[in-house]
Chain A
Amino acid sequence: NAGVTQTPKFRVLKTGQSMTLLCAQDMNHEYMYWYRQDPGMGLRLIHYSVGEGTTAKGEVPDGYNVSRLKKQNFLLGLESAAPSQTSVYFCASSLTGTDELYGYTFGSGTRLTVV
């Protein structure tokens, strides 16, 4: 089925460890996004990409890096994990920046715990 696939679904890290979250979409979407979801804070944009080879900062980019080497993949990296990065991470993609016709397509999320 077409959609957005996130891996892994769950992960526990120790403070200072690094990891990469992978997002893959097979809808030929130009735009991809990484959000984090925290209780009482809603969804906050970390980074986004408007096309292959491009990235841009969102609302809360500190402590994260991203890469979009291939159109279908958008990677989110944590170089040195901190407990404040404990969250649920969602990847999304869209045909255009707002895509009023179909909206954003979201993955099912990655639950990350940093201890």
Chain B
Amino acid sequence: GNSVTQMEGPVTLSEEAFLTINCTYTATGYPSLFWYVQYPGEGLQLLLKATKADDKGSNKGFEATYRKETTSFHLEKGSVQVSDSAVYFCARSGNTPLVFGKGTRLSVIA
């Protein structure tokens, strides 16, 4: 079936640490891939996206590369800030509305 698997959280990092949140997907064909972010008390908002293999999405210092060979779309940031504390969701497109992963909570401490 079509699904998205994210690494379990919560993830706690010190400010300026390197962040990786793993995401893998299963799908027929070649879906578009997304990362959404949910700040406390808010709805989700699009962080970045990639629509085909080898594309790199980037925004606000975050990056993710669409890897067809490993069916992955891992989120990375070189130096996290306290303001990056949020829940991050990986998502994929298909023949149905977006399918989301379970979310990974990130806490960044000063």
Contacts and interface: CB of A to CB of B under 8 A. Distances in A.
**Chain B, interface size: which category?**
20 to 34
Contacts of A102: 46
Majority SS of interface residues in chain B?
Answer: loop
Nearest to B48: A103
B100 to A, nearest CB: 4
Interface in B11-25: none
Nearest to A98: B93
A42 B100 contact: yes
A23 B97 CA distance: 17
Nearest to B100: A43
B101 to A, nearest CB: 6
Contacts, number: 53
B97 A31 contact: yes
A90 B44 contact: yes
Given A103-B49, A107-B43, A45 B93 contact: no
A40 B102 contact: yes
A85 interface: no
A113 B40 CA distance: 19
5 contacts: A40-B102, A42-B103, A100-B51, A106-B44, A109-B43
Interface of B: 32, 34, 36, 41-46, 49, 51, 89, 93, 96-103
List 8 tightest A-B contacts by C-beta distance, closest first. A103-B46, A106-B43, A42-B102, A98-B93, A43-B100, A106-B44, A108-B43, A42-B103
Interface of A: 4, 31, 33, 35, 40-43, 45, 48, 58, 90, 92, 97-98, 100, 102-104, 106-109
